[in-house]
């Protein structure tokens, strides 16, 4: 999504003035689904069997595309991605699932690629010998570029993302990518990162939930159960029912004082998830029944409707961290910019830097603001870092993500907190106390 695409429906917008019914919206979006192109944008052919792999400055990028029902559009794309990871020494694999208003041919590809290139040029990456491999998981997040009409695709694109998340192929690709890095490079340094934006955050969250459950119950090895070493969701456009359930499960297993493996970042001025999402889901909520459920770490019971109609980053019951600007600034060490500093220097106390004025670096902290201390960070992000729904690749946002990468990486940070033991039995007394 372009940085100007907030994805909101203004109260006085033309479509609301006309009073379009949900049936009309579904009809329009269904028509667009049928008219838009169904073929993969990076097909491999006999003449060009590696068309799904591109070479950039300091990185290589693999595309894997999925159709309207969440199926592989070209299974050879997965084969090429796995082969690329296997033959790359010391791979740093960053897998990205895009969101609404994007696909495997949109401008989001270029912005993701720029970040990969920037990371590859940092001192840390060069000195460590890591080689950047990006994997772009593409789906039909954009049906039309027509103004106003493209906003009417909310329901159909949310449904498409839910199919992608619930069916087999997308999670298979995510798992196969991490397996290729971990199993083939066991004796070598490797690291995997999984990022989801917007509806892509929905896909990532559901993928992670199954993996967490498998580890909790001993169905998977503790060092390989999660689909990546670090999972980031940026302005995720998912309801917060699953987030509440995961946070509650982690809280009951006494995972305090451990490093996060899942970090959700939401701008306070993201109106797509803060306004449009509640409006859109409230219509669907009118046909559903909701129980009262416990709020993690609190004796309160709340209607599950509060979680169905809000995203994790806008749910006051779940937000457990926020970005806070510190009063102190520092001189950029050796002239390094913020992203280079964040990757090269171990700043203490979950602190990261952002580029300031006159060659100075601003100091920011990811500060815990809740008594619920779990390895799922639900972070409220200052709008000076991410200003709207699509503004996730600006230099300040990229620097923050690099800082979180360093904070949580035991290969880079000697002061990193220990990994959570998810196989601890749940504290049922704590769980019972939440319900009274």
- pLDDT at residue 16 is higher than 60: no
pLDDT by residue (tens digit) across 37-73? Answer: 678 999 999 999 999 999 999 999 999 999 999 999 9
Report the range of poorest mean pLDDT among 9-13, 262-266, 356-360, 407-411.
9-13
- pLDDT at residue 2, as a whole number: 43
- Beta-sheet strands, E only, within 66-167: 91-97, 131-138
3-class DSSP assignment, residue 286: coil
What pLDDT is recorded for position 428? 77
- Give the three-state DSSP class for 424: coil
Mean pLDDT of 93-101: 97
pLDDT(123) > 90: no
Residue 373, pLDDT > 50, answer: yes
User: Which SS3 state, helix, strand or coil, does residue 62 take?
Assistant: strand
Q: Residue 193: phi, psi to the nearest 5?
A: -130, 140
Quick check: 14 pLDDT over 90?
A: no
Average pLDDT over residues 280-304: 93
Give the mean pLDDT of 236-262.
Answer: 96
The per-residue pLDDT for 12 is: 42
Confidence band, pLDDT 50/70/90 cuts, at residue 5? very low
Confidence of residue 97 (pLDDT cuts 50, 70, 90): very high
In this model, does residue 368 exceed pLDDT 80?
A: yes
The single residue listed with the structure tokens 């991410």 is: 386
Residue 223: the pLDDT is 66
SS3 of residue 334 by DSSP: helix
Give the number of other CB atoms < 10 A from CB of residue 408: 24
In this prediction, residues 317-327 reach a mean pLDDT of 98
pLDDT in the model for residue 79: 98
Q: For 368-372, what is the mean pLDDT?
A: 96
DSSP 66: B
Q: Indicate the range of 74-88, 194-208, 258-272, 415-429 predicted with least confidence.
A: 415-429
- Give CA–CA dist 22/252, Å, rounded: 40
Q: Is the CA virtual torsion 303, 235, 242, 280 positive or negative?
A: positive
Q: Give the pLDDT of residue 24.
A: 53
Residue 204 has pLDDT above 70, yes or no: yes
pLDDT at 68 (0 to 100): 96
At how many degrees (to 10) do helices 199-216 and 154-166 cross? 30
Question: Quick one: pLDDT at residue 266?
Answer: 98
Average model confidence (pLDDT) for the chain?
Answer: 89
Which of 19-28, 147-156, 424-433 is the most confident on average? Answer: 147-156
Mean pLDDT of 293-310: 94
pLDDT at 222 over 90: no
Predicted local confidence at residue 187, as pLDDT? 63
Confidence (pLDDT) at 23: 52
pTM for the model stands at: 0.89
- What integer pLDDT is reported at residue 362 of this predicted model? 97
Which token pair is 324?
Answer: 């806070």
Would you say 387 and 273 are in contact if contact means Cβ atoms under 8 Å apart?
no
Answer yes or no: are the C-beta atoms of 235 and 386 closer than 8 Å. yes
| Per-residue pLDDT reduced to its tens digit, 141-184 | 998 888 878 778 888 999 999 999 999 999 999 999 999 999 88
Task: Check residues 34 and 178 and name the one with the higher pLDDT.
Answer: 178
Position with higher pLDDT, 6 vs 26:
26
Pairing relationship of beta strands 376-381 and 191-197 according to DSSP bridges: unpaired
Tokens 């694109």, residue located = 157
Res. 18: pLDDT tops 70: no
Are the C-beta atoms of residues 207 and 241 closer than 8 Å to each other? Answer: no
**Domain extents for the chain?**
25-325+368-433
Report percent pLDDT > 90 for the chain: 72
């Amino acid at each position: 999504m372009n940085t100007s695409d907030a994805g909101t429906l203004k109260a006085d917008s033309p479509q609301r003035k006309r009073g379009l019914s949900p049936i009309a919206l579904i009809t329009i979006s269904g028509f667009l689904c049928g008219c838009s192109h169904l073929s993969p944008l990076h097909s491999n052919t006999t003449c060009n069997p590696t068309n799904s792999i591109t070479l950039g400055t300091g990185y290589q990028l693999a595309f894997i595309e999925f159709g309207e029902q969440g199926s592989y559009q070209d299974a050879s794309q997965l084969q090429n991605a796995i082969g690329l990871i296997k033959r790359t020494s010391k791979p740093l694999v960053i897998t990205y699932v895009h969101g609404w208003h994007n696909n495997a041919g949109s401008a989001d590809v270029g912005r993701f690629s720029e970040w990969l290139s920037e990371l590859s040029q940092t001192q840390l990456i060069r000195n460590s010998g890591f080689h950047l491999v990006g994997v772009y998981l593409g789906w039909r997040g954009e049906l039309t570029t027509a103004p106003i009409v493209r906003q009417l695709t909310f329901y159909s694109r949310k449904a498409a993302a839910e199919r992608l998340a619930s069916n087999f192929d997308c999670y298979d690709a995510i798992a196969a990518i991490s397996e290729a890095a971990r199993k083939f490079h066991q004796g070598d340094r490797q690291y995997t990162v999984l990022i989801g934006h917007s509806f892509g955050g929905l896909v990532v969250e559901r993928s992670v939930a199954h993996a967490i459950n498998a580890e909790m119950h001993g169905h998977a090895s503790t060092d390989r159960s999660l689909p990546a070493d670090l999972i980031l969701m940026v302005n995720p456009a998912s309801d917060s029912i699953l987030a509440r359930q995961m946070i509650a499960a982690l809280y009951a297993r006494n995972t305090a004082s451990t490093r996060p493996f899942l970090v959700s970042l939401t701008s306070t001025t993201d109106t797509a998830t803060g306004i449009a999402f509640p409006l859109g889901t409230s219509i669907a909520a009118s046909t559903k029944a909701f129980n009262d459920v416990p709020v993690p770490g609190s004796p309160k019971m709340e209607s599950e409707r509060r979680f169905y109609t809000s995203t994790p980053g806008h749910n006051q019951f779940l937000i457990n961290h926020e970005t806070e600007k510190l009063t102190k600034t520092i001189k950029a060490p050796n002239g390094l910019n913020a992203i280079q500093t964040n990757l090269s220097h171990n700043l203490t106390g979950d602190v990261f830097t952002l580029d300031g004025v006159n060659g100075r670096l601003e100091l920011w902290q990811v500060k815990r603001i809740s008594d619920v201390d779990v390895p799922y960070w639900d972070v409220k992000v200052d709008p000076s870092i991410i200003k709207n729904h699509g503004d996730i690749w600006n230099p300040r946002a990229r620097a923050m993500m690099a800082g979180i990468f360093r904070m949580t990486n035991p290969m880079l940070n000697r002061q990193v907190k220990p990994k959570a033991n998810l196989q601890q039995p749940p504290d049922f007394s704590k769980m019972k106390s939440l319900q009274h």
